Amino acid sequence: MNQTAQTEVVRLDGVAMRYATGPEVLRNIDFRLDAGSYHFLSGPSGAGKTSLLRLMYLAHRASSGTVRVFGHDIASSPRRSLPGLRRRIGVVFQDFRLLDHLSVRDNVALPLRIAGVDEPVIQSHVAELLNWVGLGNQLESKPTTLSDGEKQRVAIARAVIGRPSLLIADEPTARVDETQGVRILRLFEELNRIGTTVVVATHDQHLVDRFHHRVLRLEDGRITLERDGRAPALTREAGRVATPL
């Protein structure tokens, strides 16, 4: 693997995407996520944020263009190599996607079980992490008995239990109050500080403005703005895409 592949966690070139035979919901997408970066993906509902994240966590294939994850061109990677790539990605799904028949403990343990980690190691890691997110006394609860805020934290714990290099969170603050939302984003900053690349999709512009991270703005399936995190004043319109309307 060459040097660029090491520093580029995700790279999309000229990517378009559609669901089945429907219209393209993403068009002409170019961007890269460098290792250790923290990005917001903003834009109104229906802009294509979830769709773009699905491309990144390998739940969907691009209809054109190239998607590279950890330096691998996904279209030409053998199918058997994809689970290994997916295990390096932690995903917080917009609708949590917790398994209601499993306890909180088993939900969070799932990625480690899938990866074949030894059971004693799983047990200690899971207990430790659930303590860290403040759910140490809910290990045996079923997700259906939890509040949205608690479910969100279980979903986050499951996403990070495998120490992913890339953390993808889809609207992680949408179903919690602002204080909890800020706490969650701070928690992601801690993970980012120890080297995790973070992408957070949110339609909440207010929240985006509170944190000075890089921003990719999506509108109607196109990137309309890329803002550099360190200099929030120097926003620039993405030159290659003419803003519609």
Partner 1 sequence: MWQRRFDLPLGADGTTRFVPWLIAVMVYLAALALAAGMATADAASRWNAGLAGTATVEIAPASDRATTDERVGDALAILRATPGVIAATPISEAEVAELLAPWVTTGELPSELTLPRLIDVRFDPGTAVDLRTLGAKLSALIPGARLDDHGTWLQRLRALGTSVQIAAALVVALIAGASAATVIFATSAGLAIHREVIELMHWIGARDAYVARQFQSHAMSLALRGGVAGVLMGAATLAGFRALMGPSQGSLLPDVGLGPATWAALAILPLAAAGIATLTAKATVLRALRRLP
Ligand X SMILES: Nc1ncnc2c1ncn2[C@@H]1O[C@H](COP(=O)(O)OP(=O)(O)O)[C@@H](O)[C@H]1O
Closest CB to ligand X among 45 and 144?
45
Q: How far is the CB of 94 from Mg ion (least distance, A)?
A: 5
Provide the mask over 85-124, with x wherever binding to ligand X is found by CB under 6 A and - wherever it is not.
----------------------------------------
- Nearest 5°: CA angle at 12, between 36 and 87? 55
**42-63 per-residue burial string, b: 16 or more CB within 10 A, e: under 16:** bbeeebbbbbbbbbbbbebebe
Judged by CB under 6 A, the residue of 11, 27, 39, 49 near ligand X is: 49
Amino acid letter for position 99: L
139 belongs to the binding site for partner 1 (CB under 8 A): no
163 belongs to the binding site for partner 1 (CB under 8 A): no
Separation in Å, CA 174 to CA 92, 121, 181, 222? 12, 33, 8, 22
Q: How far is the CB of 218 from partner 1 (least distance, A)?
A: 21
Closest CB to partner 1 among 48 and 162?
162
Provide the mask over 1-40, with x wherever binding to ligand X is found by CB under 6 A and - wherever it is not.
------------------x--x--x---------------
- Residue closest to Mg ion (Cβ): 50
Closest CA relative to residue 60, chosen from 34, 36, 91, 33: 91
How far is it, in rounded angstroms, from Cα 84 to Cα 103?
26
Closest CB to ligand X among 34 and 204?
204
Site for partner 1 in 57-96 (CB under 8 A): 57-61, 79-80, 83-87, 89, 91, 93
> Which range of residues in 2-10, 21-29, 111-119, 220-228 is near partner 1 by CB under 8 A?
111-119
Separation in Å, CA 180 to CA 40, 173, 208? 18, 8, 15
121 belongs to the binding site for partner 1 (CB under 8 A): no
- Decide if 29 contacts 217 (C-beta within 8 A): no
Element (H or E) spanning 167, and its range? strand 166-170
115 belongs to the binding site for partner 1 (CB under 8 A): yes
Q: Which two tokens stand for residue 88?
A: 């390096």
